[in-house]
């Protein structure tokens, strides 16, 4: 619950206290006799043996107004935060691209699944010689979890080729110039050769800004 402040007119505090025989009203241990037109959410109300009513409500405080003209027990919510105020989520200001390359047609024969922050992005098939895509919208400022999961199309205990034949993946900061994408600041790379036998996913941390 958002905190609220209850303003009590100073003039009201200066009046004589209620007679001992009359029950009193408190909010979080502070007397608020005479308060009207208030509603308390998520509150506990206790009536003691003398008939006094004690309200316990988290998020509410009582303050004494400096002027007698202040309406008694006026609820004063805090100001709403302005757009772009401190603490608001920042935005990624750089552009980020992924480039995956298979040396087709006799490449390492890996399909590649791409995940960013536990979200499936796409699968790059082994018969796709080259894939370039922008991934900026999947990133948030700071650390991002990137999982690259290659799967061999022809599983077995024999390598599909030499280590010189490999699937290569690069993700980094870049820009677009004409019909070309340039990754001028590579942030993570993965290489999986045709000589590898295991479908080992790789997890990386990419810090976006």
What strands lie across the sheet with 60-64, from one edge to the other?
Answer: 60-64, 4-8, 74-76
- For each of the chain's 209 residues, which pLDDT tens digit applies? 444 444 443 333 344 454 455 788 877 777 787 777 677 766 778 787 778 887 877 656 665 554 443 333 434 444 444 444 455 457 899 999 999 998 755 566 788 999 999 999 999 988 888 999 999 999 999 999 999 999 887 665 555 555 667 889 999 999 998 888 999 999 999 998 877 767 789 999 999 99
- Residue ranges of the domains in the chain? 4-76, 96-208
| Alpha carbon distance 195, 189 (integer Å) | 18
Q: Is the pTM of this model over 0.85?
A: no
| Alpha carbon distance 91, 88 (integer Å) | 10
Q: 26-45 burial string, b = 16+ CB within 10 Å, else e?
A: bbbeebbbebeeeebeeeee
Instruction: Give the gyration radius of the chain's Cα atoms.
Output: 33
| Paired sense of beta strands 202-208 and 96-101, if any | unpaired
What strands lie across the sheet with 25-27, from one edge to the other?
Answer: 30-31, 25-27, 53-57, 43-47
């Amino acid at each position: 619950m958002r905190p609220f402040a209850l303003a009590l007119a100073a003039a009201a505090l200066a009046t004589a206290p209620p007679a001992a025989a009359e029950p009193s009203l408190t909010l979080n241990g502070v007397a608020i006799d005479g308060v009207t037109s208030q509603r308390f959410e998520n509150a506990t109300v206790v009536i003691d043996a003398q008939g006094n009513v004690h309200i316990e409500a988290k998020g509410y405080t009582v303050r004494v107004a400096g002027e007698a003209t202040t309406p008694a027990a006026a609820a004063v919510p805090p100001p709403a935060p302005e757009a772009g105020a401190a603490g608001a989520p920042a935005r990624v200001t750089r552009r980020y691209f992924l480039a995956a390359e298979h040396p087709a047609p006799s490449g390492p024969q890996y399909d590649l699944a791409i995940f960013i922050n536990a979200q499936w992005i796409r699968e790059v098939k082994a018969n796709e010689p080259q894939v370039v895509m922008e991934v900026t919208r999947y990133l948030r400022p700071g650390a991002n979890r990137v999982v690259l999961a290659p799967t061999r199309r022809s599983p077995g205990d024999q390598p599909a080729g030499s280590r010189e034949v490999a699937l290569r993946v690069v993700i980094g900061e870049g820009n677009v110039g004409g019909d070309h994408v340039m990754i001028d600041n590579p942030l993570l790379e993965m290489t999986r050769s045709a000589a590898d036998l295991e479908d080992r996913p790789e997890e990386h941390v990419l810090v976006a800004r």
